[in-house]
Amino acid sequence: MKRNNSMNIAYVMMILACISMCWLIIPLIWLIPMTLKTKALVNEYRPAAALGICEILFGALFGLIAGILVLINSESAYVEESTTSSNNLQEEAA
């Protein structure tokens, strides 16, 4: 499975943005779906310029960082996740 560490950081930043803005109900209407879309970008590349701009506009400081990370996201940043532990288990079973 491919994974992008910068998108994982952006996802954590969006969670922090949701927590910091939890007392404001209206911004959460935008922050929660943007957080879920950012989570989807951790494992699969999709162009998301509009998402990055919305995160910058609505996410305060944490959203600014996450939005920049989403805007600079590229398909080449996705690397194959290491599965050495599952490979070792398969070799022992054989």
Distance CA 63, CA 58 (A): 7
pLDDT digits (tens, 9 = 90+) for 37-82: 999 999 999 999 999 999 999 988 999 999 999 999 999 999 988 7
Asked if residue 31 lies in contact with residue 17, where contact means CB atoms within 8 angstroms, the answer is: yes
Tokens 């400081």, residue located: 61
Distance between alpha carbon 45 and the CA centroid of its chain, in Å?
Answer: 11
| Of the candidates 70, 82, 83, 72, the residue with the CA atom closest to the CA atom of residue 42 | 70
| Of the candidates 76, 92, 94, the residue with the CA atom closest to the CA atom of residue 84 | 92
pLDDT band at 6 (very low <50, low <70, confident <90, very high): very high
Residue 9 has pLDDT above 90, yes or no: yes
Residue 87 has pLDDT above 70, yes or no: no
Q: Which residues contact 81 (CB under 8 A, 6 or more apart)?
A: 1, 2, 3
Q: What is the pLDDT of residue 18?
A: 93
